[in-house]
Amino acid sequence: MKKRVLLGMSGGVDSTASAILLKKQGYEVVGATMIMYCNQKIAEDAKKMCEKLGIEHHIFNYENEFRCQVINKFISEYENASTPNPCIECNKYLKFGTFYEKAKELDCNYIATGHYAKIEFSPKYKRYVLKKSEEEKKDQTYFLYLIPKEELEHIIFPLQGYKEKSDTRKLVESMDLEIAKKKDSQEICFIENNNYKEFLQKNMTSKPKKGNIVLTSGEVLGKHNGLINYTIGQRKGIGISFKEPLYVVKLDSAKNEVIVGTEKDLYSNILYANELNWLTFDKTPDKIECFAKIRYRAKEAKAKVYKEEEGKVRVEFLEPQRAITKGQSVVFYDDDGIVLGGGKIL
């Protein structure tokens, strides 16, 4: 009897390629599309691909859950001068939370998505682990560290051996599917044209207020037009002139101030994180040495992680890191590219 797998279908290249691969591997594939934010076109494309591949297709409406767990949190974080990563929250609550529950309802043994990552059994940790994909540029494990470790053995990433998007397109083209030419999805699915500032202006309950732009020494240099318009590490568009280049080094929500400094002020050896999720440990270890990644496009850097009070860790880097940003995630890896866990930067 074939094992059933519930595959997240977006109607795009990666999910379609995943369906093709799973069928070739002998699974009974059940496609499912989660309606989360006005993405009816996605559901239509996904249904069409499922029909052409001869697989069952379901549509689940999770617009309310998506608004509560992802969009509202996104807005709230910005209101508190924090920079969130909505894809990580979506993966936690919906794509690997609610979706897994649906899989069980449909008598599926596994769930699958088109992410570039690996799941394998590790003799070292004596459990299933999440591991970086073959190609560093495509690896998406940074977004996946919040998956419950109990689910790992029930997850399949069919694209784990693929290094280039062009290869997945070729696979879809080989099946004579027009979706092969479809463009990649935009960065944040619920924000048109990636204009997050306009989205926040429309949806925040309390509108951005003007405040002071302050040098790290305490000197007031000018006025800002709302904290949401600034990001840590920003140099251009600050709106002040100074004898040397200045960068945004901190957003102080309590004082409604943008703190600026020189480039050296952007670097720090230490960060604190909470909302931890460990994939290789049952509880927070007292100390680990690892590689830590502070944003998706950042390189992993050697670090030591120390347990602080309940639910919090201190991360000390061997080399200073640039523009550590509150609200982003720090993800921990071992020497073999296995995800140890991660947390939200404070």
**Rg value, the chain, Cα:** 22
In contact, 211 and 257? CB cutoff 8 Å: yes
The fraction of the chain above a pLDDT of 70, given in percent, is 98
The answer to whether domain 4-114+157-192 and domain 208-261 are alike in fold is no
The fraction of the chain above a pLDDT of 90, given in percent, is 78
Residue 62 — pLDDT band, cuts 50, 70, 90? very high
Alpha helices, H only, 2-120: 13-24, 40-53, 63-66, 72-79, 86-90, 99-105
Domain boundaries, the chain: 4-114+157-192, 208-261
DSSP 300-335: PEEEEEEE-STTEEEEEEEEEEE---TTSEEEEE-T
User: Of 87, 90, 108, 290, which one is the catalytic site residue?
Assistant: 90
Q: What is the CATH number of domain 208-261?
A: 2.30.30.280
Q: Using the predicted structure, report yes or no on whether residue 298 has a pLDDT greater than 90.
A: yes
Residue 205 — pLDDT band, cuts 50, 70, 90? confident
pLDDT tens digit string along 180-192?
Answer: 677 776 678 888 8
- Amino acid 177 reads L
pLDDT tens digit string along 151-177?
Answer: 999 999 999 988 777 888 888 888 888
Q: In the annotation, is 90 catalytic? A: yes
Q: In the annotation, is 87 catalytic? A: no
Q: Using the predicted structure, report yes or no on whether residue 312 has a pLDDT greater than 70.
A: yes
Q: What is the pLDDT, as a whole number, of residue 180?
A: 67
Q: What is the CATH number of domain 4-114+157-192?
A: 3.40.50.620
User: Of 50, 87, 108, 189, which one is the catalytic site residue?
Assistant: 189
Residue 1 — pLDDT band, cuts 50, 70, 90? low
Q: Using the predicted structure, report yes or no on whether residue 306 has a pLDDT greater than 90.
A: yes
